[in-house]
Chains A and B, each alone.
Chain A
Amino acid sequence: MVNTPPSTPILILGGGVAGLAAAVDLARRGLACTLAEREPALGGRARDFCCKAVSACARCGACRLADLLAEAAARPQITIYTQALATSARPAEGHGWQVELAPAGPAAPLPIGPGQPLPGRVSLAAQAVILAVGPQPFDPAGKSSLGYGRVPGVISALELEARLVQGAWEQRPAPAKLAFIQCVGSRDQSLGRLWCSRVCCGYALRLARLLKASRPDMDIAFFHMDVQDYGRAWEEELAGLRREMRFVRAMPGEVAAGAGGPEVVFALAEGKQMREAFDLVVLSQGLGPPAGAGALAQMFGLARTQDGFLGRAEEPVAAGAAGVFVAGACQGPRSLTESIDHAGLAAAAAAAYVASTKGAGRG
């Protein structure tokens, strides 16, 4: 028999950087919490992100996952369930939520990192809930003119990250000529995605600089509309990056298969059409609302932003339902470090909510 805990002060859904940061923040305040992650391992998308430091730290935040995992595992206040999926929720009497958790798929044979697989169906009473389910990266196949899934040599930015994490180019030669195409699935009315994803300029330029550092003769073109502010001192960085790679202020009309690799069709500033072959074309996919945003919004009666993210755009962490808070990029596009900071804000709001309801309705 499994003795399931009947209640937790705060339930966190999602064990990526935002969920982990919220759990750690609450634990540091001495508050107990339960973290439920759908996958067999914690860490979310950050697991596949590589360190982008060249001569100095690039402040990409990829390394902070390891710190968060270590601290979450060491804090006794945090109960972690992996392979746990929230299936339904209803407001509890007085305040708080009664949330049903169910195992997501068969239990993984070996535990991967901290946490234990959800032992079975669990009905958990929580005084507050923090949603930290992360964003859904845009599937570049949805922008068919750019050839993803159709033209060999066209990959997504997440696939490039994974290749670098796995050290794929340490064994065989790295591509000599590479193109980044920005705003794939962002600022695109034809796809119904009007928002700027805010992180793509930063990650693409940091990846480009990382590649240049390992292979200075690599020819990199950066196709963009304009470069968004991606963090501290970005303008100073940009001046140096402009000397290291080609900044082409044009969105390609097409990426076509060619004998010498994928060919990018674009216009030069003076209007001349160009067709240039690259070894590799990287599509900088944007961030969208989580795939389960609709189901979660229905489950908790949440508000959604104009773009479909959870919560309200004008309120930082309120989700539009009493006792429910949002943390990280499920509320709007955020980088790793921004998600971690945002989770701290959500944890503070949830802790304040729990403190304010103490005694009320429980007398």
Chain B
Amino acid sequence: MRLNDGDPGFKHQVAAEPGGAGLKACFACAACTARCPVAGHLPEYDPRRIIRLTLLGRREEVLASPLIWRCSACYSCAEVCPQQVRFTDVLTAIKNLAARAGCAPPAARAGASLLAKHGRLLPVGEFENEKRAKLGLPAVEERPQDFQRLLGMAPEGREPGEGPA
């Protein structure tokens, strides 16, 4: 690996994303990796390595890696980190950059479509609302508009630029 091949701006770009600022405080102590339940099952998933690669400017390697989508967001890493890096949040920043670079995996895109269409990842239909009515709970309405705006997606999961529905 040639250090000169790295993109020195990459770490700043990640740090500028919401939640990404903790990246630069990392000591590389690997307490996160030691405590991570995903790393316990998937040895190639190594939070310390993802942070090091990011700091070294390995933009393509990080953004295209399928491993950055493996985090279960349990925040065990944030719990043990002596530097309060909050790796889960740093990884969210990295994933946002990856999605903008077109590197989001199909599952993430499918999730975005569901959000744009229903405003939820699990669609709520008559079956659920009947059950809620029996329990005396109000019916759940689907309000996808906020997500459509956030995701820049038109209703029915159309990508922007595909024309009006």
Where the two chains meet, the residues of A that have a C-beta atom closer than 8 Å to any C-beta of B are: 145, 183, 187-191, 225, 249-254, 265-267, 270-273
Contact = CB atoms under 8 A, between A and B. Distances in A.
A271 B49 contact: yes
9 contacts: A188-B82, A188-B83, A189-B25, A190-B84, A249-B30, A253-B76, A270-B43, A271-B49, A273-B39
Interface string B96-135: 0000000000000000000000000000000000000000
Given A189-B82, A271-B49, A252 B31 contact: yes
Contacts, number: 72
B84 A273 contact: no
Contacts of A270: 43, 46
Given A250-B29, A253-B32, A253-B34, A267 B48 contact: yes
B28 A225 contact: yes
B39 A187 contact: no
Contacts of A272: 43
B72 to A, nearest CB: 15
B81 to A, nearest CB: 7
Given A272-B43, A273-B34, A273-B43, A254 B80 contact: yes
B29 A225 contact: yes
B27 A267 contact: no
A15 B62 CA distance: 56
A179 B45 CA distance: 26
B89 to A, nearest CB: 15
Interface of B: 25, 27-36, 39-40, 43-46, 48-49, 76, 79-84
Nearest to B43: A272
A188 B27 CA distance: 10
B30 A250 contact: yes
Given A271-B49, A272-B43, A273-B39, A252 B82 contact: no
A271 B47 CA distance: 8
Contacts of B29: 183, 225, 250-251
B82 A183 contact: yes
Nearest to B25: A189
Residue of B30, B31, B76 with highest tally of chain A CB at under 10 A: B30
Given A271-B49, A272-B43, A250 B84 contact: no
Contact of A253 (B27, B31, B43, B44): B31
Given A190-B84, A271-B43, A272-B43, 8 more contacts: A250-B33, A253-B31, A254-B34, A254-B35, A266-B34, A267-B30, A271-B48, A273-B36
Contacts of A265: 34-35
Nearest to B45: A271
A189 B84 CA distance: 6
B67 to A, nearest CB: 10
Contacts of A191: 82
Q: Which 9 A-B pairs have CB atoms at the shortest separation, nearest pair first?
A: A271-B46, A253-B35, A253-B34, A267-B33, A251-B29, A250-B30, A188-B82, A267-B30, A251-B31
A126 to B, nearest CB: 42
Contacts of B40: 273
Contacts of A254: 34-35, 80
Contacts of B48: 267, 271
Contacts of A187: 27, 82
Contacts of A267: 30, 33-34, 39, 46, 48
Contacts of A273: 33-34, 36, 39-40, 43
A217 to B, nearest CB: 27
A253 B80 contact: yes
Residue of A187, A189, A253 with highest tally of chain B CB at under 10 A: A253
A154 to B, nearest CB: 16
Nearest to B27: A225
Nearest to A185: B82
B30 A266 contact: yes
